[in-house]
Amino acid sequence: MDLHDYYMQYGTVLALVIAGIVLVAAAFGLNRLFRPDMKYGAKLSTYECGLDPVGSGWSQTHIRYYLFAFMFVVFDVETLFVFPWAVYLGNPNNAAPRFMLGTMLVFLFFVSITLPYEWKKGVLKWV
């Protein structure tokens, strides 16, 4: 492969990036050009699932919901770790499978003790 072919590959990527930017800019420009621009009271009010807005837009959220969301993120990241680990460990040509198995079991242990802890603290009660 000569130098010209090497840089032509980057030219293709650059052309696709520029085409994407132009397409997005054109879509936003056409939207701004053709959209209706009517500002009236009902349009500027808070929308709450088809119901009339009641009270202010600010409300306090219980910490339980944040803990529930954080727990979801932890178990989601666990899935991201376990799948590639299982694929790597399933290949017999890879070195040090025992070390990787031990590392993942320690990780799974620390992640799995969070579930009973959250259950005990009452975070999983959706009241």
The reply to whether 29 falls in a domain is: no
Residue 108 sits at the vertex; the CA angle it makes with 106 and 111, to the nearest 5 degrees, is: 110
Is residue 96 assigned to a domain? yes
Q: CA 124, CA 117: separation in Å to the nearest integer?
A: 10
Question: Residue 108 to residues 76, 84, 85, 95, 104: CA-CA distances in angstroms?
Answer: 12, 14, 12, 21, 6
Contact, 118 vs 71, CB < 8 A? yes
**Distance in angstroms (rounded) separating the CA atoms of residues 115 and 63:** 17
Q: To which residue do tokens 């420009």 refer? A: 29
Q: What is the pLDDT of residues 31-50, one digit of tens each?
A: 999 988 777 766 666 665 66
Domain count along the chain: 1
Q: Is the pTM of this model over 0.75?
A: no
- Does some domain include residue 102? yes
- Beta bridge partners, 51, equal 48
Which of 115, 114, 113, 121 is CA-nearest to residue 62? 121
> Is 78 contained in some domain?
yes
pLDDT of 29 above 90 = yes
Domain membership of residue 28 (yes or no) is no
pLDDT tens per residue, range 113-124: 877 887 887 777
| pLDDT for residue 108 is more than 70 | yes
Instruction: Classify residue 41: in a domain, yes or no.
Output: no
Euclidean distance between the first and final Cα of the chain, in Å? Answer: 65
Domain holding 113, by residue range, is 63-121
Do 118 and 124 form a contact (C-beta atoms < 8 A)? Answer: yes
Predicted confidence at residue 15, as pLDDT, reads: 93
Q: What integer pLDDT is reported at residue 16 of this predicted model?
A: 94
Question: pLDDT tens digit string along 52-100?
Answer: 666 676 777 777 777 778 878 877 887 787 777 777 777 777 766 677 7
